[in-house]
Structure 1
Amino acid sequence: MSTGVNARLERISTDGRIVSIPMDHGITIGPTKGLIDIESTIDAVTQGGADCILTQKGLASRVHPNTNGRGYIVHLNGSTSIGPDKNDKRLTSTVKEAVRAGGDAVSYHINVGSETEPQQIEQLAQISKTAGEFGLPVLAMAYARGPGIAETNAENLAHAVRLAEEVGADIVKTAYTGDESFKSVARATQLPVLMAGGDPQNDRAMLENVSCAMSCGAAGVSMGRSVFQHADPESMTNAISLIVHESATVETAIERSGL
């Protein structure tokens, strides 16, 4: 790993642990709650303890003034929920554009097991190569999704995170299995593994997932809708950050964050 990659990893993490708030959902589900006034949401979650924000390149100018010194990841592909195949993620940006947008890292979503998996493997490999030339870290959002694929099966997710490492990613985000079977996912790779938030749940259930994932070996979380659609994004981020960065219990995190 190059000096540049290491330096930029420090910009999107704290002591090797990461609380990332992805807000690339405008392409996927449209201008939903929390994303219309994205400036206020970014300010809130970074005040709450998020290490980095993730968006598509077109929002960069709205991101930077509101990050409170936190890191920024530029996402490079996407699809819509109303399109013909939501698993068919298409390129929306390049590594060079991410650099010009002021990104500290790039991310790419791959659906292992989907009909478009072969192209996505090729693209992730090429992005990893190009990003390495710029000293830019790559976050692979590696999911197990496709016809007949069990999306929270530990074996499938372990395969997905290992693929990310094999093709050159520096960090990997994946779905949570729902229990301690997540240990086998975290052990499948030497990359830092981030737990994805998935569909929003009540606060306690979501925080219990975070706590379990961390105890299973996760290096942090990458949670979008459960945070930016929350009635109090700052407090929710603070609770998550307390668990990830201070190993707080769920009860302590709820109490200290004011949820």
Structure 2
Amino acid sequence: MSTGVEARLTRLGRDGKFVTVPMDHGITMGAVDGLKDIESTIADVTEGGADAVLTQKGLADRVYPNRNDAGYLIHLNGSTEIGPDEAEKRQTATVEEAVRLGADGVSFHINVGSDHEPDQIEALGNVTERAHQLGMPVLAMAYARGPGIDEHDATNLGHAVRLAEELGADIIKTAYSGDPASFEHVVESTSKPVIIAGGSPSSDRETLETVQDAVSVGGAGVSMGRTIFQHPDPYAISSAIAAVVHEGFAIDVAMDRFDLPIEP
């Protein structure tokens, strides 16, 4: 690992653990709740303890004044949910653009098992090569998604994260397999840090239980978007998640400390 990659990784997490809030959903879903006034959302989640935020390149000037010195990743591909095929992510930015915009890293989405897997494999390999030439770390969003694919099967997820490492990724985001025992296989499938996606928002307790379970078997944290930026109190939920990931807080303690409702 080059000095540049290593230095920038320290801006994206703490002690090998990561709490990232992706907010690239505007290209996929439009200006949904939490993203219209993205400035306030960024300020809330980074004040709450998020290590880094992630957007598409066009929002860089809205990120910087509000990020409380948190790290910043620029996402390099995307698609829309109203287009012909949401799984067909097309490249939307280059590593050079991310460097010029002051990002600390780049991210790239790949759907392992989809009809578009071959193109995405080639593109991710090219992105990691160029990023490392410039000292930039790469977060691979590696999902098991395609016809007949179980998106939460640990074997499929283990394949996806291993593929991402073999293509040069430095951090790997994937879905949670549903329980610690199966997720341990996913974590053990790569030597790189594995962080979990959030998906559709659930209750605060369920969110924190998932985070705690993933970390308990070696998960390196989270990259949660809607779960955090669409929460009624983005500051509180990001604070609680960061406390579980970085400080090992018990769930009830985290919920009480940050005034989240104590749910059954």
TM-score norm. by structure 1 comes to: 0.99
Corresponding residue for residue 134 of structure 1: 134
Matches within 5 A, 1:175-214: 175-180=175-180, 181-214=182-215
Instruction: Provide the rounded CA distance (Å) in 1 between the counterparts of 2:46 and 2:187.
Output: 26
Q: What RMSD in Å do the two structures reach over aligned CA positions?
A: 0.5
Instruction: Provide the rounded CA distance (Å) in 2 between the counterparts of 1:258 and 1:18.
Output: 23
Deviation of the 1:100 alpha carbon: 1.0
Corresponding residue for residue 242 of structure 1: 243
Name the aligned partner's letter for residue 93 of structure 2.
Answer: S
Matches within 5 A, 1:101-180: 101-180=101-180
Corresponding residue for residue 15 of structure 2: 15
Instruction: Provide the rounded CA distance (Å) in 2 between the counterparts of 1:247 and 1:87.
Output: 35
Deviation of the 1:191 alpha carbon: 0.3
Q: What per-residue deviation string (whole Å, max 9, x for no partner) do you get for residues 21-71 of structure 1? A: 000000111000000000000000000000000000000000000010110
Instruction: Provide the rounded CA distance (Å) in 1 between the counterparts of 2:32 and 2:186.
Output: 31
Name the aligned partner's letter for residue 108 of structure 1.
Answer: F
Deviation of the 1:154 alpha carbon: 0.2
Corresponding residue for residue 32 of structure 1: 32
Q: What per-residue deviation string (whole Å, max 9, x for no partner) do you get for residues 173-203 of structure 1? A: 0000111211100000000000111111011
Instruction: Provide the rounded CA distance (Å) in 1 between the counterparts of 2:72 and 2:235.
Output: 18
Deviation of the 1:19 alpha carbon: 0.2
Tell me, what secondary structure is at the counterpart of 1:214?
helix
Corresponding residue for residue 86 of structure 1: 86
Matches within 5 A, 1:36-51: 36-51=36-51
Tell me, what secondary structure is at the counterpart of 2:45?
helix
Deviation of the 1:15 alpha carbon: 1.4
Instruction: Provide the rounded CA distance (Å) in 2 between the counterparts of 1:46 and 1:149.
Output: 35
Instruction: Provide the rounded CA distance (Å) in 2 between the counterparts of 1:50 and 1:25.
Output: 17
How many corresponding residue pairs? Answer: 259
Deviation of the 1:252 alpha carbon: 1.0
Corresponding residue for residue 5 of structure 1: 5
Deviation of the 1:101 alpha carbon: 1.2
Deviation of the 1:16 alpha carbon: 1.3
Q: What per-residue deviation string (whole Å, max 9, x for no partner) do you get for residues 137-189 of structure 1? A: 00000000000000000000000000000010100000001112111000000
Instruction: Provide the rounded CA distance (Å) in 2 between the counterparts of 1:15 and 1:67.
Output: 20
Name the aligned partner's letter for residue 238 of structure 1.
Answer: S
Instruction: Provide the rounded CA distance (Å) in 1 between the counterparts of 2:210 and 2:16.
Output: 20
Name the aligned partner's letter for residue 12 of structure 1.
Answer: L
Instruction: Provide the rounded CA distance (Å) in 2 between the counterparts of 1:176 and 1:216.
Output: 12
Name the aligned partner's letter for residue 41 of structure 1.
Answer: T
Instruction: Provide the rounded CA distance (Å) in 2 between the counterparts of 1:15 and 1:210.
Output: 17
- 2:256 matched to 1:255? yes
Instruction: Provide the rounded CA distance (Å) in 2 between the counterparts of 1:241 and 1:256.
Output: 12
Tell me, what secondary structure is at the counterpart of 2:136?
coil
Tell me, what secondary structure is at the counterpart of 2:218?
coil
Q: What per-residue deviation string (whole Å, max 9, x for no partner) do you get for residues 68-103 of structure 1? A: 011000000001111111110000000000111111
Name the aligned partner's letter for residue 199 of structure 1.
Answer: S
Tell me, what secondary structure is at the counterpart of 1:36?
coil
Instruction: Provide the rounded CA distance (Å) in 2 between the counterparts of 1:256 and 1:245.
Output: 15
Tell me, what secondary structure is at the counterpart of 1:131?
helix
Deviation of the 1:249 alpha carbon: 1.1
Name the aligned partner's letter for residue 38 of structure 1.
Answer: I
Give ranges in structure 1 of 5+ residues lacking alignment: none
Name the aligned partner's letter for residue 19 of structure 1.
Answer: V
Instruction: Provide the rounded CA distance (Å) in 1 between the counterparts of 2:251 and 2:83.
Output: 38
